[in-house]
Amino acid sequence: MAEEKKKRDGFGSKLGLIAAAAGSAIGLGNIYRFPCELGNNGGAAFLLIYLAVVIFLGIPVMLSELVIGRRSQCNSVGAFKRLAPKSGWPIVGYMGVLCGFLIFAFYSTVSGWTLEYIVKSVANSFQGKDIKALEQDFADFHNMGWRNVMWQGVFILLTGFVVFKGVQNGIEKYAKVLMPVLLVILIVLGVRSVTLPGAKEGLAFLFKPDFSKINGQVLISALGQGFFSLSLGMGVLITYGSYVKKDDNLTSTAFSVVLADTLIALLAGIVIFPAAFSFNVNADAGMGLVFNTIPMIFNQMTGGYVFCIIFFVLLAIAALTSTISLLEVVVAYISEELHIKRQWATVIACVATMMLGCFASLSLMDNTPFTIGGKTVFDALDFITANVMLPLGGIMIVIFVGWKLGKTKFFQEVTNDGAIKASLKKIIFFIIRYLAPVAIAIVFISGLIK
C-alpha cells in the first residue's frame, strides 16, 4: 500500500497528467497506423470521419475515463469495483486489461522495427537507395523473423524497465521535452514533403474527400483508429486519472490531449502522402508506407542523415511512452488486485507479452503458419483490439458515466467540487449519456454487418 501511495503521488505537477496522457496517445498510432488506415480507406473521406470521431466521441470518452479514474483512485478493474460495488461493471476493466495486453503484443513488433531503423539510419544504409530498394530491404527484414523478435524483446524490456521503476519518473520527465521535438521534426519533414515534385496529388488524396468511398468498413476503421490513437476504451486514462490530485482540470486535459494527438496525426499525413505520391508508393501500401517513405524523404534532404537518426529515435521514444501506458494498465491491475508486488507484476506481464508477441512478429514472414481466420496473428490482434474491443470498452465507459455514475458526480469531478467552472460540462454530459453510446453503436454495428 505504501508503495502504491508513493506511485500515486507521482503525478504531482499539473503537467504530469497531460504529459503522460499525451505520451500514451501520441505514438505509432499517429505516425504509423494513421497513414496506413487512411491509405487503405480512401483518403480524405476517412480523415473527415476520423476528425468527427475524435472531436465528438474522443473528448467525451476521454473525460469519462479520467472522471472514473480520479474519483475511484484505483486501477481500471478496482475502479469499477469501488464505484459500482457488487455489480457486473468490473468486466469492463477486465476487458481493458486483456486489451492492453493484446495491443502490447503486436504494438511491440512495430516498436521493435523503430530500433532496427535507428541502427539502419546510423549505418547510413538508406543512402542512395531508390524506393524499390528500400521496399526490398523492408520485406527482407520481415523475413528475418528472429531479428524482429529480438528487437521486440529489447523493446519490451525497455518498457518493463520504466514501468518497473515506477511511472512518474519515466513518463513525466521525458514526454514533456521530447514530444515537442518530435513535432518540430515532423514540421521540417512536412515542409520537405509538400515541396517534392508531384506532392499536390498526395495533398489532394489527404484533403479532398470522395464521399462515395464511405462505407461500413471506413466508418469502423475511423472509429477504431480514433480510439486507438487516443488510447481510449481500455482504461489507460482510468489508470492515469487515478494518479492525479483533485485540483487538475480534467476537461482541459482532455481537450489538450485530443488536440495534440490529432495535430501529430495530421502532420504525419502531410509528411507521408505527398512524398508517397511523389515516389510512386501506393497509398494503400500498408506497413511499408511509413518505413519506406520517410527514409526516402531524408535521402532528398540536406542533413538528411542526422535528421533521419533523430527521427527514428524520437519515433522509438513516442512508441515507448505508449507501451509504458499499455503495460501500466496490466501491471496496476496485477499488483493492486492480485496483490503481487509491482516488480513481479511487471516481470509476469512482460514475459506473457513476449510469449504472445513473438507470434505477431513471426506472422509477418512470407508463408507464415501463424494465422487466425485468414489474417496474420499481427493483423488479427490489431483488428480485434482496435476495431472491436476498444469501441466496445468505450461504449461501456460512457454508459457507466452517463447512467450509473450520473450527472451530479460527473459535475463534481469536472468542476473539482465547484472550484472551477467547466462551462462545457452540460453539453459533454449530454453527449456522454445519449449521443456517444448511440453513435458508437451505429458505427460499430454498421462495420460488423459489412
Pick from 33, 104, 53, 156: nearest CA to 443: 53
Q: Which stretch binds ligand PFF (CB under 6 A): 22-30, 56-64, 309-317, 347-355?
A: 22-30
Among residues 113 and 126, whose Cβ is nearest to ligand PFF? 113
Closest CB to ligand PFF among residues 107, 126: 107
Q: How far is CA 61 from the centre of its chain?
A: 15
Name residue 376's beta-bridge partners. Answer: 371
Residue 393 Cβ, how far from ligand PFF at the closest point, in Å?
9
Considering Cα of 319, then 320, then 321, then 323, what sign does the dihedral take?
A: positive
> What secondary structure letter does DSSP report for 300?
T
Q: Is 222 in the site for ligand PFF (CB under 6 A)?
A: no
315 dihedral zone (left: phi>0; alpha: psi -120 to 50; beta): alpha
3-state SS of 378-393? HHHHHHHHHHHHHHHH
Q: How far is the CB of 33 from ligand PFF (least distance, A)?
A: 7
Task: Quickly count: other Cβ atoms within 10 Å of residue 303's Cβ.
Answer: 10
| Whole-angstrom Cα Rg for the chain | 21
Q: Which is nearer to ligand PFF, 49 or 326 (CB)?
A: 326
How many chain residues bind ligand PFF (CB under 6 A)? 16
Closest approach of ligand PFF to the CB of residue 435, in Å: 23
Minimum separation from the CB atom of position 317 to ligand PFF (A): 12
375 backbone dihedrals φ, ψ, rounded to 5°:
-105, 150
Structural element, H or E, at residue 247 = none
Residues in 97-136 at the binding interface with ligand PFF, rule: CB under 6 A: 100, 103
Q: Which residue number, 103 or 440, has a Cβ lying nearer to ligand PFF? A: 103
Q: Which residue has the cell 511487471?
A: 346
- Contact segment (CB under 6 A) with ligand PFF among 74-82, 223-231, 338-346, 412-420 equals 223-231
Q: How far is Cα 34 from Cα 186, in angstroms, rounded to an integer?
A: 14
Lookup: cell for 129: 537507395
Of 126, 228, 240, 429, which one interacts with ligand PFF (CB under 6 A)? 228
| Contacts for 263 with CB less than 8 Å, ≥ 6 apart | 183
> Which positions from 295 to 334 touch ligand PFF by CB under 6 A, shown as an x/- string?
---------------------------x--xx--------
Instruction: Write out the H or E segment, with its range, that includes residue 375.
Output: strand 375-376
- Contacting range for ligand PFF; rule: CB under 6 A; set: 120-128, 134-142, 230-238, 428-436: 230-238
Which residues, 30 to 49, sit near ligand PFF by CB under 6 A? 30
Q: CA dist 247 to 74, 253, 267, 290, 378, Å? A: 17, 12, 33, 40, 41
- Contact in structure between 305 and 298 (CB atoms under 8 Å): yes
CB of 142 to ligand PFF, least distance (A): 20
**Between residues 83 and 264, which has the closer beta carbon with respect to ligand PFF?**
264
Answer yes or no whether residue 25 interacts with ligand PFF by CB under 6 A: yes
Tell which positions 389-428 bind ligand PFF, by CB under 6 A: none
Q: Does 62 bind ligand PFF (CB under 6 A)?
A: no
Strand, helix or coil for residue 450: coil
Continuous segment of H or E residues that includes residue 376: strand 375-376
Handedness of CA 104, 292, 297, 116 (dihedral sign): positive
17, 28, 330, 331: residue in contact with ligand PFF (rule CB under 6 A): 28
Pick the binder of ligand PFF from 178, 219, 234, 431 (CB under 6 A). Answer: 234
Cell 530498394, residue?
A: 133
If binding is defined by CB under 6 A, does position 231 make contact with ligand PFF?
yes
Residue closest to ligand PFF (Cβ): 29
User: Cβ closer to ligand PFF: 175 or 196?
Assistant: 175
> Nearer Cβ to ligand PFF, position 233 or 304?
233
Encoded one letter per residue, x for contact with ligand PFF by CB under 6 A and - for no contact, window 185-214 reads ------------------------------
**Euclidean distance between CA atoms 413 and 70, whole angstroms:** 8
Classify 197 as helix, strand or coil: coil
The residue among 236 and 380 lying less far from ligand PFF, judged by its C-beta, is 236
Residue from the set 18, 24, 41, 113 that interacts with ligand PFF by CB under 6 A: 24
Binding positions for ligand PFF, rule: CB under 6 A: 24-25, 27-30, 100, 103, 228-229, 231, 234, 236, 322, 325-326
